[in-house]
Amino acid sequence: MKKTKGQIEAEISEAIIKFEKEYMGRGPLEAKTYIIDDLILVRLKGVLTKAEYQLANPVDIVNGRTLIKQMRIALLEKGRPLLEAVVESIINQKMISLHTDISTRTGEKVIIFTLDSPPKLEY
């Protein structure tokens, strides 16, 4: 049975929250997923820890923001096969690539999955 766009988006949000909690050690305060053609955009809010916010303060440490981004990207790359497998199992198709960035000012993170074609949805 095909799933609706909303069902798939909700499942992906839940899976990403679980991944962030179990693999990264802390989950976001909020997660929202958007399917746009052959892209899946996941927006996570409240992902930084209190310590990371302190490190990101430009007055104290100039390279703090860079360190946070490097560490978060390295951790995600390590868990990437697991994350891709979880999302692929929800959408039942292959992923081409994954892109991510994190804002050290807002504590927001985005993950973009590129698919081989738009997901088959029920309307």
Q: Residue 47's pLDDT band (boundaries 50, 70, 90)? A: very high
Question: pLDDT per residue over 87-118, tens digit each?
Answer: 999 999 999 999 999 998 899 999 999 999 99
Query: Is residue 56 over pLDDT 90?
Result: no
Q: Which helix (H) or strand (E) holds 32?
A: strand 30-36
* pTM of the shown model: 0.89
CB 104 within 8 A of CB 68: yes
Question: pLDDT per residue over 15-46, tens digit each?
Answer: 999 999 998 888 999 999 999 999 999 999 99
